[in-house]
């Protein structure tokens, strides 16, 4: 079974600051990795995903994440945050067995607050 650890539960930054949210996973096989975001009052939506190829993936709204296999990590980054990035961020994984679309295992989430 997989598990996901997000180290920062609450992060407060000022606008224009750089962001890095940590995510580590535990699983012995190949995984697909995801970052989801939940803006206040809205649904969970996908920011970006990695399943193969270039370990540096770019998502929506200027976010990117880097998969480091040796560290079992998939940290989310953004060079300059905006007030509108205030949201809850979830890292998630599922097993890449070449089979069906498995359910996701989520981390506990990081509540990000951007101060104007």
Partner 1 sequence: EAEVAQSPRYKITEKSQAVAFWCDPISGHATLYWYRQILGQGPELLVQFQDESVVDDSQLPKDRFSAERLKGVDSTLKIQPAELGDSAMYLCASSLSGSASYEQYFGPGTRLTVT
Would you say the C-alpha torsion 77, 104, 3, 1 has a positive or negative sign? negative
Site for partner 1 contains 4 (CB under 8 A): yes
Whichever of 81 and 93 has its CB closer to partner 1, that residue is: 93
Contact pattern from residue 21 through residue 40 relative to partner 1, giving x for each residue in contact according to CB under 8 A and a dash for the rest: -----------x-x-x----
Per-residue x/- mask for partner 1, residues 42 to 81, rule CB under 8 A?
A: -xxxx--x-xx-----------------------------
CA separation for the pair 100, 88 (Å, rounded): 28
Of 38 and 86, CB closest to partner 1: 38
Rounded CA gap, 21 and 1, in Å? 23
Cα–Cα distance for residue pair 33/51, rounded to 1 Å: 6
Among 14, 18, 82, 97, binds partner 1 (CB under 8 A): 97
Query: Is the CB of residue 24 less than 8 Å from the CB of residue 66?
Result: no
């Amino acid at each position: 079974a997989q598990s996901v650890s997000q180290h920062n539960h609450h992060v407060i930054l000022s606008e224009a600051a750089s962001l890095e949210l940590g995510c580590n996973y535990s699983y012995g096989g190949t995984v697909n990795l995801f970052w989801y975001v939940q803006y206040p009052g809205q649904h969970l939506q996908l920011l970006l995903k990695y399943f193969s190829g270039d370990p540096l993936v770019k998502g929506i709204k200027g976010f990117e994440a880097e998969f480091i296999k040796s560290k079992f990590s998939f940290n989310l980054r953004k060079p300059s945050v905006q007030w509108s990035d205030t949201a809850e961020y979830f890292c998630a994984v599922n097993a890449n067995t070449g089979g069906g679309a498995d359910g996701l295992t989520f981390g506990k989430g990081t509540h990000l607050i951007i101060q104007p």
